[in-house]
Structure 1
Amino acid sequence: MTNRSSSAGLVAYRAMTRALAPLVPLLLGRREARGKEDPSRRGERFGHASLPRPSGLLVWIHAASVGESLSVLPLAERLIAAVPDLHILVTTGTVTSAKLMAERLPRGAVHQFVPLDHPDYCARFLDHWRPDLGVWVESEFWPNLIVEADRRGLPLALVNARITERSFRSWQRAPRFIAGLLARFRLLMAQDAASAARLRALGGGHVSEPGNLKHDAAPLPHDASALAALRADIGARPLWLASNTHEGEERTAADAHRALAARYPDLLTVIVPRHPARGAAIAHELGTMGLAVARRSANEPVSSSTAIYLGDTLGEMGLFYSLADIVFIGGTLDDTGGHNPFEAAHLGCAIVAGPGDFNFAESYADFETEGAMRRIAGAGELADAIGLLLGSEADRRRMAAAAQTIARAGSGATARTADALAALLPDAGTRRAGHA
């Protein structure tokens, strides 16, 4: 075990989390009532494992939510294929990501909910799983979990690290706190140059830049029969997709639909919210605008009168990207910072996005430079941008081809990250990832 000194802020944080422990059941109960926790797996949030630890080497990968967990699937597959008798434990904190991991994790990998950040819960989790390596993805730092892992001598790696300008400014107000956390990682791998520079400025040493794991992800899968059925229902109607939308963006998409319907009376607008649980509320809101809405989660078909098709289901983003060739990426008209453009690019979409892109700033800039993405300054420009693409098949094809070229190029980040992680495993000298 290691015994690093802790900053006053970290000491205070650990004391605070202990003091607040009596409130945890109330917090979880409220989240369960809102569909944000799985009551059947509540014990995992207290560090009680619902599965036995597999024998042999175990790599624990913590990925906060859907985007991060999907990005590590190729990494998990590569490590399992390259290292004999290796198992993977993936932890996440959301119900949506848990359902996706249940469907998509490779053989040899299992999922658990990450324990809440209380010293005792974290200790219980680590003492059961006894991982040989802990891998944290992007930017979710849980101080107690990091400290407890470090105390047990567990090598930790931060991969695909993303530090936005906003989070950088926040961490600058607690320099010793963040520097102490970063010092507990043996490996720091940033997804872009800006994040690498911010990590170094916050006290991270030996930061490498292997590329972005999300660039290497395979195209999202879809059910071919479901796609054929949707195409049959829609027929020759023009359509466009608003994907990964957040509150307020659905209304913006509906406003764009009404503006475009004068020119395209049989237009179909497909909206896929980032959080499918909001489906009923979205349908009600758009219904009050006088629009006919069909919800996929309710098995409501697309009829000739349907104006909005609401894709409020889980794990079907590949289906909708395959259906549409014009896509607006949500989370770009508010302070969310955008979502992954590579998912749409892989499946041949012409992409439109708003100004908010701090989650993927370098990627969005590359797409825009290569003519693969049209940017709008605000909600008022969405209808015009979609209308231009609806009116020009040549522009749609050109943008989609440019986007696919970027997506298919890959970054090599998965291979470089896997090699670096394998080097931290016991006897790694004879088991380099990618050279099984």
Structure 2
Amino acid sequence: MFRPVNRSIYTLIYYLALPLIFFRMWWRSLKDSRYRQRWLERLAFYPADSFDNNKPAIVFHAVSVGEVHAAVPLIRACQLALPEWTFTLTTTTVTGSARVKEIFGDSVQHCYMPYDSPGAVKRFLRAIKPEILVIMETELWPNLLFYSKQRSCKLLLLNARLSKKSFLNYQKYASLTAKMLLSFDAVAAQFEQDALHFRQLGLPEKTLHTSGTMKFDQEIDQQQLDAGLAMKQELQRPILVAGSTREGEEEKVLAAFDILLKVLPELLLILVPRHPDRFTDVAKLLISRGYHIVRRSRGEKVSSDKQILLGDSLGEMQFYYASADLAFVGGSLVDTGCQNIIEPAVLGVPVLTGPSLFNFQAVSELLLESGAMQVVANEKELAEKLRLLFQDKALRQSMAEAASATVAKNRGATEKQKQLILQAIHSDQ
């Protein structure tokens, strides 16, 4: 249903919702104390001299860890091309913030993107004074876009994707969505289906580009790769990684694991929950079911009697996937949409998922067509597919080669989107 909402009505609703937003932050801080830190940044109150205003400024916004990782090669390419510019990378989540500091150190400025109230947005823009604002994937905030444009800031939406579910949600607020999209100087959609959705929401053709996804260009952390391969070599046992699992999904993975243990008693499961605030709950689940586990966060050794390594650490997905013979990607056996299926494929690891793929629909089609990925309907089918693959080394190798080939074939989006940024900078010169 179409719901006519303009920015003023949106802002009023947003102000009314702020107490709930603050409550949610407080609630999350009970499990993760980092949510109690740097609250003033969420309202764009910063200490004096927090930002370098002596150079032209470009801001990249990446909501969380996945978007940060996708932005890394683009930001580094732009830093080489624009050495005279100041770079700021904002995030929304605390995990995204932690990864920014780990990856970039002091080579970029960092703060949280403030809440989308007019006052906070204006303070943010006055503090950083961006000439270019790059939003990764699809984070459309009406006040951020309106006041950025009011300051003559160039706006780019890069690595943009719009699933059918998101498209239908934005379509409910067609008038407000169209105005937001019209504010962009360039939009780089990942795939043609994404581009079609943007067109249907009112994005002009002259603004729209289709460039592929930068996640195929993600950098490989050599240290993590080497550590994962070393662990695999040391353990000399079959390894299944279940990465980025969601609430209610671990039980399904464990059901498949129990079936597999009957034919592969030496199998090691590396279980990596998607959200850090669930690490403790998942550990309790595993212990309550009698599994012999080790926790990555405690630096415990994976001895031969251990059945499960709980990946309760941040920023180590490449380490986990590098050690794997096979990877199951979470979010797909529950109806939340699968997580990043490119992560294991980049490392040449065969991929399995459940049927919920709307987050990576186009990418999943590429991997399925090439033979790099298989989809299962439920935990029983997952167990059967895994059994067949663990017993068929040639098929695993074929899937691994297909994964590497698909990744290589689809690289290059980063360069295309870097050029869009340079064009935006030089368009007024």
**Fold shared per TM-score above 0.5:** yes
Does the 8 Å contact 1:245/1:330 carry over to 2? yes
Match of 1:277 in 2: 277
* Structure 1 range deviating more: 45-54 or 247-256: 45-54
**Is residue 288 from structure 1 mapped to residue 288 from structure 2 by the alignment?**
yes
Does the 8 Å contact 1:86/1:108 carry over to 2? no
Match of 2:44 in 1: 47
Does the 8 Å contact 1:353/1:376 carry over to 2? yes
Looking at structure 2, the residues matched to 208 and 409 of structure 1 have their Cα atoms a distance apart, in angstroms, of 19
Does the 8 Å contact 1:36/1:94 carry over to 2? no
Does the 8 Å contact 1:219/1:343 carry over to 2? no
Deviations 1:105-130 (A, max 9, x none): 27642221110111111111110000
The residue matched to 1:333 in structure 2 has which SS?
Answer: coil
Match of 1:411 in 2: 411
Which residue identity is paired with 1:152?
Answer: R
Instruction: Give the count of matched residue pairs.
Output: 422
**Structure 1 residues 26 and 264 mapped into 2: Cα distance closer, same or farther (>3 Å)?**
closer
Deviations 1:1-25 (A, max 9, x none): xxxxxx7432111122334556665
Matches within 5 A, 1:263-412: 263-412=263-412
The residue matched to 2:424 in structure 1 has which SS?
Answer: coil
Looking at structure 2, the residues matched to 29 and 241 of structure 1 have their Cα atoms a distance apart, in angstroms, of 33
* Structure 1 range deviating more: 136-145 or 299-308: 299-308
Q: Post-superposition shift, 1:36?
A: 7.3
**Structure 1 residues 208 and 426 mapped into 2: Cα distance closer, same or farther (>3 Å)?**
closer
Match of 1:111 in 2: 110
Q: Post-superposition shift, 1:410?
A: 3.5
Which residue identity is paired with 2:315?
Answer: G
Matches within 5 A, 1:410-429: 410-425=410-425
**Structure 1 residues 27 and 311 mapped into 2: Cα distance closer, same or farther (>3 Å)?**
closer
Which residue identity is paired with 1:415?
Answer: E
**Structure 1 residues 408 and 229 mapped into 2: Cα distance closer, same or farther (>3 Å)?**
closer
Give TM-score scaled by structure 2 length.
0.93
Cα RMSD after superposing both structures? 2.1
Looking at structure 2, the residues matched to 332 and 20 of structure 1 have their Cα atoms a distance apart, in angstroms, of 31
Matches within 5 A, 1:244-259: 244-259=244-259
Give TM-score scaled by structure 1 length.
0.91
The residue matched to 2:374 in structure 1 has which SS?
Answer: strand
**Is residue 65 from structure 1 mapped to residue 78 from structure 2 by the alignment?**
no
Looking at structure 2, the residues matched to 28 and 290 of structure 1 have their Cα atoms a distance apart, in angstroms, of 34
- Residue identity over aligned pairs, in percent, reads 32
**Is residue 92 from structure 1 mapped to residue 58 from structure 2 by the alignment?**
no
* Structure 1 range deviating more: 190-199 or 240-249: 240-249
Which residue identity is paired with 1:394?
Answer: A
Match of 1:432 in 2: none
Q: Post-superposition shift, 1:249?
A: 1.9
Looking at structure 1, the residues matched to 415 and 66 of structure 2 have their Cα atoms a distance apart, in angstroms, of 19
Q: Post-superposition shift, 1:137?
A: 1.2
Which residue identity is paired with 2:372?
Answer: A
Does the 8 Å contact 1:78/1:418 carry over to 2? yes
* Structure 1 range deviating more: 126-135 or 209-218: 209-218
Q: Post-superposition shift, 1:230?
A: 3.5
Looking at structure 2, the residues matched to 341 and 20 of structure 1 have their Cα atoms a distance apart, in angstroms, of 34
Runs of 5+ in structure 1 lacking a partner? 1-6, 430-436
Runs of 5+ in structure 2 lacking a partner? none
Looking at structure 2, the residues matched to 141 and 72 of structure 1 have their Cα atoms a distance apart, in angstroms, of 17
Looking at structure 2, the residues matched to 88 and 355 of structure 1 have their Cα atoms a distance apart, in angstroms, of 39
Does the 8 Å contact 2:242/2:253 carry over to 1? yes
The residue matched to 1:132 in structure 2 has which SS?
Answer: strand
Looking at structure 2, the residues matched to 278 and 31 of structure 1 have their Cα atoms a distance apart, in angstroms, of 11
* Structure 1 range deviating more: 107-116 or 26-35: 26-35
Q: Post-superposition shift, 1:97?
A: 0.8
Q: Post-superposition shift, 1:387?
A: 0.8
Looking at structure 1, the residues matched to 275 and 17 of structure 2 have their Cα atoms a distance apart, in angstroms, of 29
Looking at structure 1, the residues matched to 27 and 247 of structure 2 have their Cα atoms a distance apart, in angstroms, of 21
Q: Post-superposition shift, 1:428?
A: 6.9
**Structure 1 residues 17 and 224 mapped into 2: Cα distance closer, same or farther (>3 Å)?**
closer
Looking at structure 1, the residues matched to 229 and 411 of structure 2 have their Cα atoms a distance apart, in angstroms, of 32
Match of 1:211 in 2: 212
Does the 8 Å contact 1:221/1:318 carry over to 2? no
